[in-house]
Chains A and B, each alone.
Chain A
Amino acid sequence: MTYRMTFRGTDIPAEPGQSVGAALVAAGIVDWRTTRKEGRPRGLFCGIGVCFDCLITVDGTRAERACLIPAADGMRLGDALETGDALGTGDALGASDDGRDRATHHAEEDGDAAHP
């Protein structure tokens, strides 16, 4: 069987055993978040869990490494702030640290993750 996931309203097929990141790039999607300061697009870089570039929200859980998390049928990738709609509104993102980078640098405030 082929798993079906969704990302920004797009159907993403995945071969069981693939990671979320592998399924996304196989579908031609190479970026799924932007950086906090400059809004640069980011997707897979190291591909093996080291660089944290590929962070993505999976079924509402923020800051997962797309390169490591296994694809699953019905998975929803990205949250409201990571959708194309939110990208279009501007205010929610851009200069504000309250934007979708909460899913990355500010995840510790949400109890998601911490560095010293």
Chain B
Amino acid sequence: MPHTHDVTVVGAGPAGVAAAVEAAEAGLDVALIDAAAQPGGQYWRHFDEDRARPEDRRGHHGWPVFTGLRDRLYVLRDAGRVHYLPGHQVWLATRDDAGTFTLRVTPTVRDPEPAGPGHGGTGHDGQDPVVARALILCPGGYDRQLPFPGWDLPGAMAAGGVQALLKGHRALAGRRAVVGGTGPFLLPVASGLAHAGAQVAAVVEANATLGWLRDPVGAVSAPGKGVEAAQYAATLARHRIPYRTRTVIRAILGDGRVEAVRTVKVDREGRPAGPEREIAADLVALGWGFTPSLELPLMLGAATRQDVDGSLVVEVDDLQRSSVDGVYVAGEATGVGGAALSVSEGRLSALALAAALGRPRMDPGTNADADRNTEAAGNTDADGTTDGNTSADKSAASGAAADPAGIRRVQARIRRGRRFAAAMHRTYPVPAAWPRSLPDATVVCRCEEVTYGDLRHAHAELGATDARTLKMLARPGMGWCQGRICGYATAGIAAWLDGRRPTADDLLPLSGRTPAVPVRLGELAALAETVTADPAGP
């Protein structure tokens, strides 16, 4: 029987690192599983820590917040208080009748390099299931994509992937780039490319932009964001990068790889409203906001909802609790909102869980440091005291709350962050009519090579009026990625063909996946043997 932790945190991005550190400092026995070799997630992705250079932090926001969290994580790991398992992905999550969670894990890459400092290595055998009484799921997200002609040509990449190459691998994916889609994230990507020496031929933004700066709710909720935007605007001006609003990339052109893009002015709904323009490029970075990874919450049965930006997210209460007892969710999975909000949600989930388990804080000293770090990032909070009696938890299992005032402060910060995120989502919507001028030959599902014409046929001839039926009949989302890339678009197309807006019911059938990541047959076989040998488990 494996050791049972108090909590397993999945994901070591902004939310997950904050949750793991906070939980361990509150005295909980913590396991932290992360797909990457080192912490930071997508937002604080950085080059191999053993080979770091000072310039690696360029383009990072809130870097001292991250290094503060990372230092605490490594101290806790070395003290045996966080069981840190980097380089592993959870492929199966189950909850038994007693409420104990078992996570089956598999190495992210099969034959990893020997672990060095900063690469974890706690002596844990990655093949053992990780067992805990509670979960804090912080799976993060990735770029949301819309299909259009040529988006599957080599040289066309997710904007986050282009950024990951720059930040994580010091690699430039092309010489002359166009960045397109919608949202504030296009700016740091263009800026990063320009800094790295690429020529950025254009940033192509579907919406009219920077409206959120004038939005009193958004601007007051996150004043630092205005400064960030001004910095990006200055970078674009310095590098003479054209920023074309109400414009979309209609097609990517090229023979076997990207050679040019064709852009067109559009109206608010995304309908062509002006002349086309051709721009030479060998790299196209694409993103239409982000969509969270919901495999694990859905596998455990957590309730979901459709967020302001149209993505499916996990429903949580004001203590980050999902609808499943013992499962907390933090970060982008509860609604895309950025790193600062994710850190707050991670912290809150840990504080709430510690309170529910009746654990007082153990490390006032370490925690004071923590608060100084978060304050430096513009967040003010000062929990760190204990309170044995006031219940801030509604669950039956709730015990005493640790510092309800501290919890309230984090909750207030989360509400401000959510208001700001909602203002951003309203400023950068996916144009409602985006499928309008898609040619039939457009590949929608890259894995199974399902085209828009295939989907139209399934709708018109076979009666597929919803995403679930469309998926069964035309097979989008049935390949290697299991709909991670085309899921949002397929849901949108299903609704578009049916003359309505996409709903959570359209998104759900393309969001759940079991197993959560592809695994070897041997691992499934081993699981079957375990179950056979021990009828009571897992």
Contacts and interface: CB of A to CB of B under 8 A. Distances in A.
Chain A interface: which size bin? 35 or more
A26 interface: yes
B392 interface: no
Nearest to B112: A70
A98 B482 CA distance: 22
A19 B108 CA distance: 13
Interface string A13-31: 0011111011101100011
B485 interface: yes
A108 B484 CA distance: 19
A84 interface: no
Nearest to B47: A17
Interface string A105-116: 100100111111
B161 A46 contact: yes
Interface in B204-257: 256-257
B387 interface: no
B109 A25 contact: no
A106 to B, nearest CB: 11
Contacts, number: 144
Interface residues of B, number: 55
Nearest to B159: A47
B446 to A, nearest CB: 6
Contacts of A25: 165, 171, 173-174
Interface stretch (B15-23, B63-71, B358-366, B513-521): B513-521
A95 interface: no
Nearest to B41: A48
A17 B481 CA distance: 26
B142 A48 contact: yes
Nearest to A19: B169
B110 A45 contact: no
A68 B165 CA distance: 11
A78 to B, nearest CB: 15
A100 to B, nearest CB: 15
A64 B110 contact: yes
B171 A26 contact: yes
B521 A114 contact: yes
A76 interface: no
A112 B520 contact: yes
Contacts of B368: none
